[in-house]
Chain A
């Protein structure tokens, strides 16, 4: 059946900001869908509040709305655009929920919008556990025994019936938020109470435990004629009990006989039939009892997912792209396999390699939260590695994580908690894999390890082999390693760094020795068909075998090094920059080569660049690709810190770095040289000092004065950065700061209290500087720029300040010899401009700026790197009155980490961002708040508690809130102040005082907004508990004065109905 001609305009809803459980895999999926539908001649209307995405690039859709994903907003867009159809299953749970709401409240019907791919009934059947369980029973499949609790008492009753342990899952939450495993009544009550609050349906599923069973996923596609295929099977390394997003997973399934695999396949296809998925991709999860093979269906998702992105990268079969084509009427046999370009897409990929995915965590950012992995997803990103064997793939995966490790231990970074060693072997945590390997090294038998960890013995045996091979190197001199052993080591996943550690040599010595021995990696193709047919796509991975498949090419080659796993401080923004550069360089005639290991991204889509190397971003792996490809230039300044760290090493190997040179990057990072440069240019910066010990630090403090911004050297995203207001705090910090040594000093900067910060993103070609945008931060200085809201054009700076910002930016960009993008952070205090730092590379805000101004900075940066001049671009003159304001706000993951401190500070904690565009700042800011919380408090009680320092400044805000109709609740001090200023205040008791107190009011849902502005970083005080309670109960809260002010204005804007959707194409 050919494509449908009765629909012309299709609405796609994205997944919004990057949050835990919903990351850039939906940018990948949505971008594919937009691209393929546009190519096919459809008009695409896109809604997504996330400006960092590639899909929201104005070229990707006909109409692009960077707007909150709420039914109300999307309805207005539907009213405006009148699409014929809605493709609901590209935007994760957020997109799906929004589509369901639009269907249920009659909007789709009212405007004649057809839901394609998957109808409401199918979504409900797949999502609602009751309906799903009934459906499974109809086709003779088992689900775990379970029941629903709508109260804690319900749950207790079910526990009596089902027995412990029990798995608890709140209905309709993202990535299993609010779920957990209860081993006893107390734990059950805690989790259920929290789950009931988080579940939009006020419902928690209480289910028999199948912890320890093997867990599998099947990625399934179906077309509207009923043709069904399995794209990929995935087996989890971690047994049931760990959320699949937090599990190490492996493709294809390893320990199933064909009989078992085929019955899972039959079940998967039957489930799609029964649920009524008309066409598209779905994901079905199973648990298998390792003792008797009993098969249980866990769940199915009638949409693209994290796993479908992984499966697409793992097989070369682009699920989202196919799903979009199926939704407009094609059948699987009518679509050509992208990779072979000769055979149809109606087949099941056969792979001749092993894929390992490992999640990336960020627990270090959330001190106080529980780092045990369970059914609630906590990973912030993931990496994937491909090898010809599991061992090789695992070794690569473990060096892709950007966590300082270079393999399965013995890499110079092993550190084991001896006291809890055994329990850390059995408890799933992000570090367990290292404990498992170490247990084998210490002589634990494979059987014992399997029974402790519940990991399948097949995987344990592979780990044992890896440890054994590693042992063959241990204590030998590098010169004694022969070609046979070297090759064996590489085939078992050992990195050069590990071999260096084991042989007492260096990585570069190992590399030299390896080459001398002729042990050189070859590159194989991911081709969907295990080599059965010729492939037309250059999607490669490295292995140690005989034959390399890299194609020759006579065009100049440009290699772009990507950003690695998403983590806090480095996310999708950098993928956006890399992808933009790839498109641009390709258009300029380069053969583009992408290197990255993050399966969620657009950059690792095989059709983004001419060649894709799915490889770890380490010196070893990148140099191996450079040896094979001999690129004419390498781009390292668009992928964040990951590629930047390699720049100097690559340059010293004679690799041509495109754009800004490593020396310039060093200059900007070397505090002494950089200060000297600023002095020379006559540019101000906060007074600073370096300390190698506590005494040093106290001396510096004496000289500069408090408050001080204190941080360890060379950190990403402000790790370990604090503001010290007094000596006592500084002493405590220095005592805690691990390893303060001459090699790892601590930096102390004068902290410009209540200064306004701003970012400037600019382009520089060595002769000319183009200012992309000036971004005024909303939160005052001291909040990490990644966590601060910001706005462009700036609205509170004087012309003199703006001129100075432009002047400083121009001088600095030229002085550090930037060739490409540069980001400069400034603080403005009392009309004076200070430089905080210069980053001669792409910044986090580049995609936001590009969307706000319509000038695609990353594309121009790529052209500068390829030698073009700014003068030739005919860029529009930047002006501060664009006629609208664009606001960016950070999205925090605190809901996932109960117990963690939620206050904003100099250490970045946000996972993603949203954007709002409107005629005025309050409306733009309101859109960002709606985009995050999906609603804003309109009335009710606001609880205000403010530290002494800010007491006077809160008064006007309190008045504004009262005028908006909020009634004010406060405790002692703040209450007295507000009453004195003519406000009506209800006084309550503090969290730790006699009950009932503010804690009870929050728990009882009496408070709709919380304004809590604490002083410094007290971590376990009253306000900590206050904010934790707000997070737990999902109450809108704000912790800075500027934030409170902006929020009050935003609420006012929402009430006046000033928010109308804006398409980027109209700006």
Chain B
């Protein structure tokens, strides 16, 4: 924390709650939805994740900036979040990979940040009252007018943020090692570098296309599979993308992550709800219902699918149950991956459940080569337990039925081997 020249700053929430601190990057004013992330490392990846567009990020770990930033760990070409809230900002980084300090990096990207905040109080407030609009401002004298400006600022709900972060022209990235085995088109709603690396590491040449690319243009590229990316905000505001997702089902193997999963969910007829305060962190336990194994996952989403709304259970494939149980945790407790009958795409299986709150985390279409997860198998930041899903996508493109049945454990040795190589 800077002991000297901290410009006074405030964080104001929509409900009028005010936190006093001091500016620790760019000064000025930034409006956005307040969220918190519980990862203890990986702030650079988080700040450069386009899925945070429109949001002010609170880091729950108090010391942020310790190891600075470097070029290799960035998840996109810039910073799309609106602001950063921390307890203590570190000006002088210590790490052999550091190329700049975090405050300098934030200033370079024009991000407003505030430090000295009781972030734990903030987290508890958001936990109790839900995600809400907020503003960081170095104009600390006119709190009443600040409140008015905050009230007038747009909500994140119903806004198409993907178009703000997507690439505008297609571009190509080659497979990372050896012969490219497949060609994948990735629809960019705010794609992270880690995902592209995950695809490329599994032998995919990737063509990244803008979020609103037409089906015809995609098919013209003659890909082996389609990847639907993560991205910021409200999935219901990105109609062209989920329309595209609906039309892709059955045509080509499809894999979706996060927003991509939500696109496929909407396509399958699922309701989407806004979560009270979302999942943002690197320690969320998710069970793969097909193997019973638990993955510690990286997550970042404020909206979620309602699995039950896709359709009625298929009892013979759901442990004999005809009615949806009260909580999806029923399935993890009984190690059953239930199947519902969707209106349009046949049988859809719930493949993954969040063990903390029983929210759906992944699905597989049994009658089409399509699967998706709500969480982030590429991690960056976060544990690598779920990186097997990139392997699963490869298998899916190979036409294998057992594509999801991969042991997390077996994957671990590979993870070590890959990093050492």
Residues in chain A within 8 A of chain B (CB atoms): 139-141, 225-229, 252-259, 261-263, 265-267, 269-270, 273-274, 290-293, 332-333, 343-344, 346-354, 388-390, 456-458, 461, 465, 468-469, 488, 524, 529-534, 545-547, 549
Q: Complex Cα distance A900/B60, Å?
A: 48
User: Are B88 and A255 touching (Cβ within 8 A)?
Assistant: no
User: Are B416 and A266 touching (Cβ within 8 A)?
Assistant: yes
Cβ of B44: which chain A residues have Cβ within 8 Å of it?
A: 257-258
User: Are A343 and B356 touching (Cβ within 8 A)?
Assistant: yes
What distance in Å separates the Cβ of A26 from its nearest Cβ neighbour in chain B? 28
Given contacts A347-B284, A530-B38, contact A547 B120 (CB under 8 A): yes
Q: Complex Cα distance A966/B120, Å?
A: 69
Q: A253-B41, A257-B41, A343-B285 are in contact. List 14 more A-B contacts (CB 8 A).
A: A225-B294, A226-B407, A255-B95, A258-B41, A258-B45, A263-B419, A267-B416, A293-B97, A348-B282, A350-B283, A352-B62, A458-B66, A530-B61, A532-B123
Residue B388 at the chain A interface, CB threshold 8 Å? no
Q: Output the nearest chain B residue to A138 by Cβ-Cβ distance.
A: B413
Residue B311 at the chain A interface, CB threshold 8 Å? no
Cβ of A388: which chain B residues have Cβ within 8 Å of it?
A: 62, 87-88, 120
Q: Which positions 344-392 of chain B face chain A at CB distance < 8 Å?
A: 355-357, 379-384
Given contacts A258-B73, A547-B118, contact A333 B294 (CB under 8 A): yes
User: Are A252 and B67 touching (Cβ within 8 A)?
Assistant: no
Contact with A along B264-301 (1 / 0, CB 8 A): 00000000000000000111110100001110100000
User: Are A225 and B292 touching (Cβ within 8 A)?
Assistant: yes
User: Are B39 and A546 touching (Cβ within 8 A)?
Assistant: no
Q: Output the nearest chain B residue to A259 by Cβ-Cβ distance.
A: B73
User: Are A261 and B41 touching (Cβ within 8 A)?
Assistant: yes
User: Are A389 and B62 touching (Cβ within 8 A)?
Assistant: yes
Residue B83 at the chain A interface, CB threshold 8 Å? no
Can you spell out 30 A-B residue pairs with CB atoms less than 8 angstroms apart? A140-B416, A140-B417, A229-B296, A253-B40, A254-B63, A255-B67, A255-B95, A257-B95, A258-B380, A258-B382, A259-B72, A262-B382, A266-B415, A266-B419, A273-B409, A273-B412, A290-B96, A293-B97, A343-B285, A347-B285, A348-B282, A348-B283, A350-B39, A352-B62, A354-B63, A461-B92, A465-B3, A529-B283, A530-B61, A531-B36
Cβ of A346: which chain B residues have Cβ within 8 Å of it?
A: 285, 294, 296, 355
What distance in Å separates the Cβ of B178 from its nearest Cβ neighbour in chain A? 19
Give which listed residue, B97, B124, B355, B384, contacts A333 with CB less than 8 A. B355
Give which listed residue, A265, A273, A344, A469, contacts B355 with CB less than 8 A. A344
Give which listed residue, A262, A267, A533, contacts B356 with CB less than 8 A. A533
Cβ of A291: which chain B residues have Cβ within 8 Å of it?
A: 96
User: Are A262 and B94 touching (Cβ within 8 A)?
Assistant: no
User: Are A139 and B416 touching (Cβ within 8 A)?
Assistant: yes
Could you say which of A258, A265, A273, A291 has the most chain B C-beta atoms within 10 Å of its C-beta?
Answer: A258
User: Are B119 and A352 touching (Cβ within 8 A)?
Assistant: yes
Q: Complex Cα distance A270/B410, Å?
A: 9
Give which listed residue, A226, A352, A469, contacts B61 with CB less than 8 A. A352
Give which listed residue, A141, A252, A266, contacts B412 with CB less than 8 A. A266
User: Are B355 and A547 touching (Cβ within 8 A)?
Assistant: no
Given contacts A225-B292, A346-B294, contact A256 B67 (CB under 8 A): yes
User: Are A352 and B60 touching (Cβ within 8 A)?
Assistant: yes
User: Are B412 and A333 touching (Cβ within 8 A)?
Assistant: no
Q: Which positions 31-55 of chain B face chain A at CB distance < 8 Å?
A: 36, 38-42, 44-45
User: Are B283 and A349 touching (Cβ within 8 A)?
Assistant: yes
Q: Complex Cα distance A318/B270, Å?
A: 40
User: Are B19 and A546 touching (Cβ within 8 A)?
Assistant: yes
Given contacts A262-B383, A269-B412, A270-B413, contact A545 B42 (CB under 8 A): no
Cβ of B73: which chain A residues have Cβ within 8 Å of it?
A: 257-259
Given contacts A139-B416, A258-B380, contact A468 B3 (CB under 8 A): yes
Residue B408 at the chain A interface, CB threshold 8 Å? yes
Could you say which of A255, A273, A545 has the most chain B C-beta atoms within 10 Å of its C-beta?
Answer: A255
Q: Output the nearest chain A residue to B19 by Cβ-Cβ distance.
A: A546
Cβ of B314: which chain A residues have Cβ within 8 Å of it?
A: none
User: Are B1 and A258 touching (Cβ within 8 A)?
Assistant: no
Cβ of A139: which chain B residues have Cβ within 8 Å of it?
A: 413, 416-417
User: Are B40 and A227 touching (Cβ within 8 A)?
Assistant: no
Give which listed residue, A229, A261, A265, A457, contacts B94 with CB less than 8 A. A457
Given contacts A333-B287, A532-B127, A547-B118, contact A350 B60 (CB under 8 A): yes
What distance in Å separates the Cβ of B6 from its nearest Cβ neighbour in chain A? 11
Cβ of A267: which chain B residues have Cβ within 8 Å of it?
A: 416
User: Are A529 and B381 touching (Cβ within 8 A)?
Assistant: no
Q: Output the nearest chain B residue to A263 by Cβ-Cβ distance.
A: B419
Q: Complex Cα distance A273/B284, Å?
A: 22
Cβ of B124: which chain A residues have Cβ within 8 Å of it?
A: 531, 547, 549
User: Are A465 and B1 touching (Cβ within 8 A)?
Assistant: yes
Cβ of B306: which chain A residues have Cβ within 8 Å of it?
A: none
Q: Complex Cα distance A775/B154, Å?
A: 78
User: Are A531 and B407 touching (Cβ within 8 A)?
Assistant: no
User: Are B66 and A529 touching (Cβ within 8 A)?
Assistant: no
Residue B90 at the chain A interface, CB threshold 8 Å? yes
What distance in Å separates the Cβ of A464 from its nearest Cβ neighbour in chain B? 9
Give which listed residue, B38, B127, B412, contacts A350 with CB less than 8 A. B38
User: Are A343 and B355 touching (Cβ within 8 A)?
Assistant: yes
Cβ of A293: which chain B residues have Cβ within 8 Å of it?
A: 96-97
Give which listed residue, A257, A349, A531, contacts B120 with CB less than 8 A. A531
Give which listed residue, B72, B94, B118, contacts A458 with CB less than 8 A. B94
Q: Complex Cα distance A511/B293, Å?
A: 54
Give which listed residue, A292, A349, A465, A547, contacts B96 with CB less than 8 A. A292
Residue B70 at the chain A interface, CB threshold 8 Å? yes
Q: Complex Cα distance A257/B40, Å?
A: 10
Cβ of A253: which chain B residues have Cβ within 8 Å of it?
A: 40-41
User: Are A256 and B41 touching (Cβ within 8 A)?
Assistant: yes
Cβ of B419: which chain A residues have Cβ within 8 Å of it?
A: 263, 266
Q: Complex Cα distance A265/B40, Å?
A: 13
Q: Which positions 97-149 of chain B face chain A at CB distance < 8 Å?
A: 97, 118-121, 123-124, 127
Given contacts A225-B293, A389-B62, A389-B87, contact A262 B95 (CB under 8 A): no
Nearest first, the 7 A-B pairs at minimum CB distance are A258-B42, A258-B381, A547-B121, A458-B94, A530-B60, A531-B123, A545-B118
Cβ of B417: which chain A residues have Cβ within 8 Å of it?
A: 139-140
Cβ of B90: which chain A residues have Cβ within 8 Å of it?
A: 458, 461
User: Are B416 and A255 touching (Cβ within 8 A)?
Assistant: no
Cβ of A354: which chain B residues have Cβ within 8 Å of it?
A: 62-63
What distance in Å separates the Cβ of A353 from its nearest Cβ neighbour in chain B? 7
What distance in Å separates the Cβ of B292 from its nearest Cβ neighbour in chain A? 7
Residue B332 at the chain A interface, CB threshold 8 Å? yes
What distance in Å separates the Cβ of B54 from its nearest Cβ neighbour in chain A? 21
Could you say which of A270, A290, A333 has the most chain B C-beta atoms within 10 Å of its C-beta?
Answer: A333
User: Are B355 and A529 touching (Cβ within 8 A)?
Assistant: no
User: Are B62 and A347 touching (Cβ within 8 A)?
Assistant: no
Q: Complex Cα distance A530/B72, Å?
A: 28
Cβ of B60: which chain A residues have Cβ within 8 Å of it?
A: 350, 352, 530-532
Given contacts A347-B284, A350-B283, A531-B60, contact A254 B356 (CB under 8 A): no
Could you say which of B332, B381, B383 has the most chain A C-beta atoms within 10 Å of its C-beta?
Answer: B383
Cβ of B19: which chain A residues have Cβ within 8 Å of it?
A: 546
Q: Which positions 297-319 of chain B face chain A at CB distance < 8 Å?
A: none
Give which listed residue, A252, A273, A390, contacts B40 with CB less than 8 A. A252
Q: Complex Cα distance A263/B414, Å?
A: 12
User: Are B409 and A226 touching (Cβ within 8 A)?
Assistant: yes
Q: Complex Cα distance A261/B408, Å?
A: 19
User: Are B118 and A546 touching (Cβ within 8 A)?
Assistant: yes
User: Are A530 and B123 touching (Cβ within 8 A)?
Assistant: yes
Q: Complex Cα distance A549/B124, Å?
A: 10
What distance in Å separates the Cβ of B421 from its nearest Cβ neighbour in chain A? 8
Q: Complex Cα distance A807/B293, Å?
A: 68
Q: Output the nearest chain B residue to A472 by Cβ-Cβ distance.
A: B3
What distance in Å separates the Cβ of A644 from its nearest Cβ neighbour in chain B? 35
Q: Complex Cα distance A531/B124, Å?
A: 6
What distance in Å separates the Cβ of A213 from its nearest Cβ neighbour in chain B? 12
